[in-house]
Amino acid sequence: MHHFHYVGNQLHAEGVDLAAVARLHGTPTYVYSAQTIADNYRRLAASLAGLDVRICFACKANSNLAVLRHFANLGAAFDLVSGGELRRVLAAGGRAEDSVFAGVGKTDAEIRLALGAGVYGFHVESEPELERINHLAGQLGKKAPIAIRINPDVDAKTHAKITTGKSENKFGIPLKYAAAAYAAAAKLPHIEIRGVQMHIGSQLTKVGPFVEAVEKVLPFVAELQRTYGIRYFSVGGGIGIVYQDALASGQQAWWDAQPEGERPLTPEAYGAALTPLLAPLGLKILLEPGRFLVGNAGVLLTRVEYVKRGHGKTFVILDAAMNDLARPAMYDAYHEFVPVVRETERPALKADLVGPVCESGDCFAKDRMIQEIGEGELGVFMSAGAYGHTMASRYNTRALPAEVFVSGTRFEVVNVRETFETMIAGEKIPGFLKA
């Protein structure tokens, strides 16, 4: 469910006309809906009400300060993958002491920063990292709370680039070596064993792989509880969202119309499957959802620059490009495209939706059936709230897009469009080239 819908013929984010946003703040611009985020958060929390659960929003999905503050206000903690994200959480007023720090390549500086901030748990991905954390904690006269990330070797049945829980992925420690890793951790004087973690992948659309992974590690988790008195089990993130039919899926009627057994994964189904498995442990359960919480809460607002009618192909050339929204180029991701002004009379048009970047990969959709749209008109890519702006780059010296936050009828720019000056602020021409 989400709060992007037509009011009359104008596409709105909650109570805000997206044409007004474009008029005031230009395009391409990401627009986020506060109510959608809040609904997603509360719905997920309610689905796991039978557990002592803490939701740690995975910041890498959307790390805008306004979004982070909104989550902090809702009561969320955070899943961090860099020192930069930790600093963002602190800048947004989030609780670092309830948050967890993941990632395979934590640097000395990042580990020190996290120790200083007193994070709830370091999610350790290798033996050398464990030693490094122990060493740095000792230097600071602290004990570092850790959980080891277990790689359960299950197939998440998602895109290869977002599968993380197979043994060939770089993440975590295989289940069969995990006991030895914990035994090694127990010997380190500046390490406190606090939990256990796993995360098998992203955009999972079925509950099966989650259940399989939990069932696989459950005996080991119980053993850790007996041996080390761990306090928590983080089951990671990965709950998928609806990308196809993204506009319609905001309505309950759409969900009701999906055939039984083919309904996309809901938080209720996730909660119903996992609660009976996890509740008997009596542990605190951490969840690290990113995409589920913000994916359908954001759109990328863009304007048509040209409609180029080629030889047997029509190209709709937009002012947004792969540098603004990388997912189609990177993961062959599907984003639904809809016009901001709906007209009942619009004929259908088969087109490639492309950006202006000089790469053939700068293509949002190939041979897509859309409603006819002309030069200067506005459209949006739906479901762009996760891994959208956080993956944006300046490729082709294109400024990072602006971000706008909507709540009810209020909206504000929460990240201004970059200027040319800020883009080149760190660059210089060395003196020896000037002679």
Ligand X SMILES: *Cc1c(COP(=O)(O)O)cnc(C)c1O
Catalytic positions: 358
Residue 323 contacts by C-beta under 8 Å, 6 or more apart in sequence? 355, 357, 392, 393, 394, 395, 396, 398
Helix (H, G, I), strand (E, B) or coil at 242: coil
67, 32 Cβ separation under 8 angstroms = yes
Tell which positions 384-423 bind ligand X, by CB under 6 A: 386
The region, left, alpha or beta by phi > 0 then psi within -120 to 50, assigned to residue 286 is beta
| Position 199 contacts ligand X (CB under 6 A) | yes
d(CA 8, CA 147): 51
Which member of 18, 58, 77, 214 binds ligand X (CB under 6 A)? Answer: 58
Stretch that binds ligand X, among 206-214, 217-225, 285-293, 360-368 (CB under 6 A): 285-293
Looking at the Cβ atoms of 30 and 292, the one nearer to ligand X is 292
Choosing from 82, 202, 302, 323, the residue that interacts with ligand X (CB under 6 A) is 202
Q: Is 28 helix (H, G, I), strand (E, B) or coil?
A: coil
Nearest distance in Å: CB 172, ligand X? 9
Encoded one letter per residue, x for contact with ligand X by CB under 6 A and - for no contact, window 228-247 reads --------xxxx--------
386 close to 326: Cβ distance less than 8 angstroms = no
Kindly tell me which of 30 and 411 has the beta carbon lying closer to ligand X.
30
Q: Is 209 in the site for ligand X (CB under 6 A)?
A: no
Give the total of residues touching ligand X (CB under 6 A).
18
By beta-carbon proximity to ligand X, the closer residue of 106 and 291 is 291
21 neighbors 404 (Cβ within 8 angstroms): yes
Written as six digits, the tokens of 423 are 């883009």
Min dist. Cβ of residue 162 to ligand X (A):
7
CA pair distance 401, 287, nearest whole angstrom = 30
Q: Using CB under 6 A, which of the segments 53-61, 304-312, 336-344, 411-419 binds ligand X?
A: 53-61
From candidates 11, 22, 61, 392, binder to ligand X by CB under 6 A = 61
Q: Would you tell me how many other CB atoms lie within 10 Å of the CB of residue 170?
A: 10
Q: Among candidates 333, 330, 305, which has minimal Cα distance to 318?
A: 305
Q: Identify residues 306-365 at the interface with ligand X (CB under 6 A).
A: none
Q: Does 125 bind ligand X (CB under 6 A)?
A: no
- Tracing tokens 């469009």 back to the chain, one arrives at 417
Determine which residue in the list 25, 54, 60, 389 makes contact with ligand X, applying CB under 6 A.
Answer: 60
Asked whether the beta carbons of 115 and 142 are under 8 A apart, the reply is: yes
Q: Which of 94, 289, 328, 355 binds ligand X (CB under 6 A)?
A: 289
Please state the closest distance from residue 171 (CB atom) to ligand X, in A. 8
Q: x/- string (CB under 6 A) for ligand X, residues 72-111? A: -------x-x--------------------x---------
Q: Which helix (H) or strand (E) holds 101?
A: strand 100-101
Tokens at residue 31, please? 């627009």
Say which DSSP state 386 is in: S
Binding site residues, ligand X, CB under 6 A: 58, 60-61, 79, 81, 102, 199, 202, 236-239, 288-292, 386
